[in-house]
Structure formats: structure tokens, C-alpha cells
A = this chain, B = another copy of it.
Amino acid sequence: MHTAAPVPAAPTGGAEPDWADRTATLLEAVRGRAPLVHCITNTVVQNVTANVLLALGASAAMVDVVTEAGPFARVADALLVNTGTPHAEPRAAAEEAVAAAVDVGTPWVLDPVAVGSLPVRTALARRLLAAGPTVLRGNASEVLAVLGASAGGHGVDSTVGADDARDAAVAAVTAPGGPGRRVAAVAVSGPVDLVVAPGTGTVRVANGTELLTRITGGGCALGAVVAAFTAVSPGDAGAAAVAATAVHTIAAELAARTSGGPGTFQPLFLDRLASLTPEDVVREARITVEPSAVVA
């Protein structure tokens, strides 16, 4: 029987400026490397997901057919699996891709969209979770549902706050089992976003705008952004999740200041993602850390 793995101590000096600087550094790393992100995601948001990755400076490829997904996950820099519109063929492709990613060490993100009462995606998400995603990302009800801590909501919108999933997230990242088989970090979306990871502690990102919830794909695209950051943050899933969340929500917040509603927000958001500077990140980031959070 396994016993709980020891949890590395969270950094004690992780004050706001440090995380903002790390985020800015990782953003530049994404742009420098232009990681190729393999996306298996729902048909509703494929377009916006690809555009967000391209605006960020990454590359995107939606390879979701059987016999292509596995080989592609071996050469991609990161993989995103999102459980929306889980038709039979992309479901099989997702399992093939995850097995390949785990085999060769491609970092991968699981986004359990609308998991809870919907049976097909819930079963799929739990099977994939068992393979140990680098980052599990969703809203609180999705994260609770996939972790078995709640039946989840009945739709794609969370009815609980990000912090409601904190205990379950802490339990997930400190669960027994080898590190390759458990989730390395959990990122929870909400008015204040939450990231939990051993070594990172509990990090909260207070940037963002309500407009991200008035467009489809605001959260799903963040899953792809997290994947892009995992490609430049090997071995530190928590940092990838924090930086991705901050970049995504800061760009959104800046776009919201000049948009006239959810329609004009979308192109302005992509423009801001493309033009976001390290200085913007450092100036705008509202990141707080709770060092003792991940003590199981």
C-alpha cells in the first residue's frame, strides 16, 4: 500500500512581485519557443482556442482522430484534452493521446468541461485523470466533480467559487502514488482564480473580467494557455498554471477596459494577448500566495 508522499514545503517568500516576475519571464519563454500545443477540445471552442494560442505566440494543432492523435502527442510540446462535445472518435483519440503523452513525458492538461451529471464525459474525464495530468483545470464544480468530491453542476457554468474546490485540489496534488500518476497542479477558475500545487502552495490570481464568462471559450482557451506554459516550465506545473492564468486574465482585464461588450471584447482580448509586455504583467498582476496551503 502506498502512503502519502511527502509534500515539498511551499516557498515562504513568495510575495506578489516574485510571481509577477516569474509570470513575465515565462511569457517571454513561450514567445521565444512558440510551443506546439496539441489540442483535443470541443467543437464549440476550437476556433477561439487556436486563435488564443496563436495570439499568445504559441502554435496550435487540433489533431483529434484515432491513429493520428497518439503519434502527434509524442512530438507536440504540450497536450490539452477538453471533454466538451465528447463524440466517440475524439474520445478514443483523447485516450490515445494521453497514453502517448504519459509514455514520452509530454506535459498535458485535463479540462473536464461540464463533468458531473453528464455520463459520457464524466467517465472519460475520470479515466484520463487516473493517468495523471500535469495540470487539472476547470471551474470549481467541474474540478470537484472529476475528483469525486461532488456531483457537479448541470451545465458549463460554475455555481461555486474557486476556493470551494481548494481542499479537494490539495488532496489531489498530495494523493498517494508516484508523481507521474497524480495530477501535479490544479487550477480553478472563478472571480479569483486558484492554483494549488506542491511547491507552489495556494496561489490566487485576482485579475480578470466578468466578460470572460460572457463569451464561450473563455475558460476552455485558458486550458490551452496553461498547456503552452507547461511546455516552458518543465517540472513546475504550478508555476505554469499561475503564469498562464495571470497572462490570460490580465490580457482580458486590459481588453475589457476598452471594449463595448462581449462582442468587441473578443478581438480586443486577442490583440492584448499578442501585445502584452512583461511590464504589463508586472504592473497589473494581482497574485497572492498562501505558503502553508499544501500541507496535507
B residues near A150, Cβ cutoff 8 Å: none
**A99 interface hit (Cβ, 8 Å):** no
- Nearest chain B CB to A248 CB, angstrom units: 14
Number of copies: 3
Knowing A262-B51, A263-B268, A268-B263 touch, does A214 contact B61 (C-beta < 8 A)? no
> Restricting to A18-75, which residues have a CB under 8 Å from any CB of B?
36, 42-48, 50-51, 54-55, 59-68, 71-72, 75
Interface pair B62/A214, CB less than 8 Å apart: no
CB-contact partner of A266 in B215, B260, B267, under 8 A? B267
CB-contact partner of A121 in B42, B44, B59, B68, under 8 A? B68
- Nearest chain B CB to A224 CB, angstrom units: 12
**A206 interface hit (Cβ, 8 Å):** no
Which residue of B has the minimal Cβ distance to A44? B46
Q: A61 vs B215: C-alpha distance in the bound complex, in angstroms?
A: 12
CB-contact partner of A44 in B62, B86, B213, under 8 A? B62
Interface pair A61/B114, CB less than 8 Å apart: yes
- Nearest chain B CB to A151 CB, angstrom units: 12
Size of chain A's interface in residues, with CB distance under 8 A? 63
Interface pair B72/A262, CB less than 8 Å apart: no
Which residue of B has the minimal Cβ distance to A39? B44
- Nearest chain B CB to A277 CB, angstrom units: 13
B residues near A234, Cβ cutoff 8 Å: none
Interface pair A216/B262, CB less than 8 Å apart: no
> Restricting to A174-228, which residues have a CB under 8 Å from any CB of B?
213-217
Knowing A63-B118, A121-B68 touch, does A47 contact B266 (C-beta < 8 A)? no
Interface pair B216/A47, CB less than 8 Å apart: yes
Knowing A47-B47, A54-B215, A72-B118 touch, does A270 contact B274 (C-beta < 8 A)? no
CB-contact partner of A43 in B43, B214, B216, under 8 A? B43
**A261 interface hit (Cβ, 8 Å):** yes
Binding site for B on A (CB under 8 A): 36, 42-48, 50-51, 54-55, 59-68, 71-72, 75, 84-89, 114, 117-121, 154-157, 213-217, 259-275
Q: List 17 A-B contacts (CB under 8 A).
A: A44-B47, A44-B50, A47-B47, A47-B216, A51-B266, A54-B216, A55-B262, A67-B119, A72-B154, A87-B87, A87-B89, A259-B271, A260-B268, A261-B271, A261-B275, A263-B273, A264-B268
3 smallest CB-CB distances across A and B, nearest first, come from A263-B270, A261-B271, A263-B267
